[in-house]
Amino acid sequence: MSDLADGIYFNMPEEVYHALPRLSVSGMQKALVSPATFWAGSWLNPKKAATLAASLAASTSNLAAAVLDVLKAMHPEMPEPDPEAAEEATKAQLLGKAYHTARLEPELLEVRFVRALDKSDMPKGSLFTGTEMGKALEELGEKKSGSVAEQAERLVAAGYDAAKVWHIQLAEWEKARDGRTPIPAEYWEEIKSDMELIRSTPEIAALLTDGQAEVSILWTGDKGVPMKARLDYLRENGFTDFKTFANPQGKHLQQCISDAFQYNRYHVQAAGYAEAVELIRTGALEIQGEATEEQRELIDAIYLHDDLMECWYVFQEKGGIPNLLARRMRFFEVPINTTAQHAGATEAQQAKMDRATATPSLWFTRANIEIRKAKRLFRNYSEIYKPGEKWRPFNPVSDMTDM
């Protein structure tokens, strides 16, 4: 069942991407845990599909309608989504978008979002409730009845300091908001701090500039598996993924990052993204839909790139700890005896020697094996189970051996 055409999509809304009935890089990571884990969080699960459909129905994107039709065709009797769960998910998504915008598109942060007015911003002695305003009105000889908005207006009209009336300040803030998404003050300060930390580290800031954020790539993989990937940041010579991490066990920093790669299967993600980006570089995919001149120039530059695109991961520690690190993923390793021959050779000659002798790195080899396994699991389970049917294990009963 088709959704959107294969290709490169700029500015695809997040809700549309997540609802696309295609195997994603994160989907492969879940499938490697178990096919049932993948199924539960995918469009194949009627409950999850209902939540995805609800977000699409609320979307103003032209792409949303096409994907919504596909979900409805898969699940004709789709259950109603849980309103409370959907609301919590939306709050989390908005907060995540704000953090992502600050890190990847800082120039757009205050265009899309605004710091919410907080009661702690008000001066000492401010009035917040109808009871408090009623008492103040009574002292001024004014009637205290009516809604809180009416009470607030009456207070100011009677000469009370408007700067100390919460509802007046809130109404003024609402006018200035101008449609932007409010972010609670406690998170806003952290978001701004994140942004300043990245921009004050030139080597890392360079990995998140002169490119495009949130680029969606759709393609058809081997044996017809429909695939999708969404890159945090795409540049003309590589791509960057941004990760946050916590270190509650107090591990050595390098060990903490190494464990994150292993247990979160970031190597699978890196290799999956590389597959998608290589299709762009080799001209197998084209831009779909609208794109700016700058975006088209980026893809044209990638078409002209001679070598495999670089993959970088940027890690930022949570909790206000200013650990900000970047790690490049080497897809191929060059033997030491080859690098010893670099002396006196031009840059082009060095690159040619490196390409001729390079072999896949161990992590890249392992990632490609796991990706093939994830695709095979997806294909096999898709053929056995219909949409809506739970993906149960093929071998639920077996022996536990020494192996």
pLDDT tens digit string along 323-368? 999 999 999 887 766 665 666 667 676 667 667 778 899 999 999 9
* H/E segment holding residue 269: helix 266-281
The token pair at 343 is 């002396």
- pLDDT-above-70 percentage for the chain: 93
**Cα separation, 363 vs 185, whole angstroms:** 41
If 0-12 CB within 10 Å is exposed, 13-18 middle and 19+ buried, where does residue 361 land? middle
| Residue 306 DSSP SS3 | coil
Q: Rounded CA gap, 357 and 342, in Å?
A: 13
Instruction: Give the per-residue pLDDT at 363.
Output: 92
Query: Can you give the pLDDT at residue 86?
Result: 61
What's the pLDDT score for residue 387? 83
- Mean pLDDT within 135-164: 93
Q: Encode 5-42 in three state secondary structure.
A: CCEEECCCCHHHHHHCCCEEHHHHHHHHHCHHHHHHCC
Residue 170, H or E segment: helix 166-177
Kindly report, residue by residue over 94-144, the tens digit of the pLDDT: 888 999 999 999 999 999 999 999 999 999 999 999 999 999 999 999 998
Give the pLDDT of residue 400: 87
* Element (DSSP H or E) covering residue 210: none
Give the tens place of pLDDT for each residue, 185-211.
989 998 998 889 999 999 999 999 999
CA 124/CA 57 separation, integer angstroms: 45
Of 344 and 30, the structure prediction assigns the larger pLDDT to: 30
**3 state DSSP class of 340:** helix
- C-alpha 216/C-alpha 10 separation (Å) is 6
Q: What angle do CA 53, 57, 59 make, to 5 degrees?
A: 115
pLDDT tens sequence across 11-23 = 999 999 999 999 9
Q: What is the pLDDT of residue 89?
A: 61
pTM of the model: 0.86
Q: For position 379, what pLDDT does the model report? A: 95
Say whether pLDDT at 87 is over 70.
no
DSSP 8-state symbol, 391: -
Please report, as a single letter, which amino acid is at residue 332. F
Pairing mode, strands 238-245 and 310-317 = parallel
Bridge partners of 228, per DSSP, are 24, 218
Burial class (CB in 10 A: 0-12, 13-18, 19+), 314: buried
Give me the pLDDT at residue 95, please.
87
Q: Name 391's Cβ contacts closer than 8 Å, sequence gap at least 6.
A: 35, 36, 38, 39, 44, 381, 385
